[in-house]
């Protein structure tokens, strides 16, 4: 298989050719094809059944890591820290979470919104601080555009 992972020289040449086509001949700069001004807002249509709560996440890696931490010889304070950090490895199934949200009572929905599991209200997202970075980036972009 070698260094090119079995993809062959044709794949490498094709990729280089595609990259070359992304250069503007007049200005000799890379044309940014990553972003578009088009905004497609996904329309969510809930399923008819509420999923089982255990379908919303996969915590197997977290459980295994916590077991290793508890069996380790590190201090108790270090174990606490590492256990908190282990929860970062939980994988959420957001399509199932959206279905669960759609079939939940208002208290559960509000808690899911506050946990940023779903964002249905842009103003609340700002209030909870979920889009603060977006505002910072937007302000920086507008400032840079006004300098041009």
Q: Does residue 14 belong to any structural domain of this protein? A: no
The verdict on residue 15 lying in a domain is no
6, part of any domain: no
Report the distance separating Cα 52 and Cα 41, nearest Å: 27
Length of the chain: 148
135 located within any domain: yes
pLDDT at 1 > cutoff 50: no
Q: Is residue 33 part of a domain?
A: no
Rounded to whole angstroms, the Cα distance separating 100 from 25 reads 51
pLDDT of residue 20: 56
Number of domains within the chain: 1
Q: Is residue 48 part of a domain?
A: yes
pLDDT at 121: 60
**In 10 A of CB 68, how many CB atoms?**
10
Residue, of 147 and 24, whose pLDDT is higher: 147
Residue carrying the six token digits 């256990």: 83
In a domain, 61, yes or no: yes
Region 59-66 average pLDDT: 95
pLDDT of 8-58, one tens digit each? 444 444 455 555 555 555 555 555 556 565 656 556 677 788 999 999 999
Does the structure show a pLDDT above 50 at 4? no
Instruction: Give the pLDDT confidence of 72-108 residue by residue, as tens digits.
Output: 999 999 999 999 999 999 999 988 998 999 899 999 9
Cα separation, 18 vs 31, whole angstroms? 12
The domain in which residue 139 lies consists of: 41-147
Structure tokens at 25: 């001949």
């Amino acid at each position: 298989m070698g260094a090119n992972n079995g993809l062959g020289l044709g794949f490498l040449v094709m990729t280089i050719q595609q990259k070359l086509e992304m250069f503007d001949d007049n200005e000799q700069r890379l044309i940014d094809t990553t972003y578009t001004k088009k905004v497609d807002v996904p329309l969510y249509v809930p399923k008819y059944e509420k999923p089982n709560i255990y379908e919303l996440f996969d915590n197997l890696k977290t459980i295994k890591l916590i077991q290793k931490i508890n069996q380790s010889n590190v201090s108790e304070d270090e174990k606490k820290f590492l256990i908190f950090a282990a929860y970062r490895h939980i994988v959420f199934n957001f399509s199932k979470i959206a279905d669960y949200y759609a079939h939940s009572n208002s208290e559960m929905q509000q808690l899911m919104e506050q946990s940023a599991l779903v964002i249905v209200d842009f103003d609340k997202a700002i209030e909870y601080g979920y889009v603060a970075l977006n505002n910072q980036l937007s302000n920086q972009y507008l400032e840079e555009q006004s300098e041009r």
